[in-house]
Each structure stands twice: as C-alpha cells, then as structure tokens.
A = this chain, B = another copy of it.
C-alpha cells in the first residue's frame, strides 16, 4: 500500500482529550481503532506522587515520530497514527499520553499501537520527574 497514513502529533501543556483524539483518527473507511491512554498513578514504588513533571525536546520528538511513523506505515499500513503527549505538571489520575491507530483490521491496530508506545518509551526525547511530598526524582526507564 502506498497510501500515506494521516499523522497527528502534539505536545500539549493542557489536558489531553480522548474524544478529540478519537475523532481525529475516525473515518468511515476504517474499521478498527486502538487507543492507548497512559495515566499518572498515585503511587510510585509505594510512595504518594504529588505530580509528575514532563519536559520534551519537541523538534527532535517530531523527527523521531516521523521515523517511527515510516516504520509503522511499512509494517501495518494503518489509516491514521496519533500521539499526543502532555508536558509540564500532570497530577495522579490525569492523562500523560494518548497513542492511537486506526486501521482496517484489529491486529494491525493493536500491533502498531503497541509498537508506537514501545518506541515512544525507547527513543522519543521526553523525560519525567516524579515529585513526592518529601522530594523529587527523575525517572529512569524500565524496559
């Protein structure tokens, strides 16, 4: 397939909106949508989180997403690829990231969305710091 998927990428300082994301990727040509929503947990290693603080290297994040998008297009030919990531302070219960894929078949959508999240965690230049009541700590990635 040579059709280009639609790509929606945003780094946002305001709350992420699942409905907006889903309507970006929805089309009557597409049967399957997989949406990943990553929220902030109130406990990290048993300690109460006050908030997370995210920062990003946005221009590079955009280039990394282009690289990832090219791989996803080759492997799964989806109709749409979306990644919205929050930066700044994000409280427990709030959404930190939404990744979404629309495709013809559900296997494509599940695999592509899972891969997009794996690659986000592996290479996209975004960092988070956990802020506790008694201190703060930059998060080192878990594989």
Q: Chain A residues in contact with chain B, CB under 8 A?
A: 18-19, 22, 26-43, 92-93, 104, 106-107, 109-110, 113-114, 117
**Closest CB-CB distance, A92 to chain B, in whole Å?**
5
**Closest CB-CB distance, A107 to chain B, in whole Å?**
8
A-B pairs with beta carbons under 8 Å apart, 24 shown: A18-B18, A18-B19, A19-B19, A22-B37, A26-B39, A28-B40, A28-B41, A28-B42, A28-B92, A29-B41, A30-B39, A30-B41, A31-B39, A33-B37, A33-B38, A34-B35, A34-B36, A34-B113, A35-B35, A35-B37, A41-B104, A106-B114, A107-B114, A110-B110
CA distance A94 to B5 in the complex (A): 21
**Closest CB-CB distance, A81 to chain B, in whole Å?**
15
In the complex formed, the residue of B with least CB distance to A35 is B35
CA distance A113 to B113 in the complex (A): 12
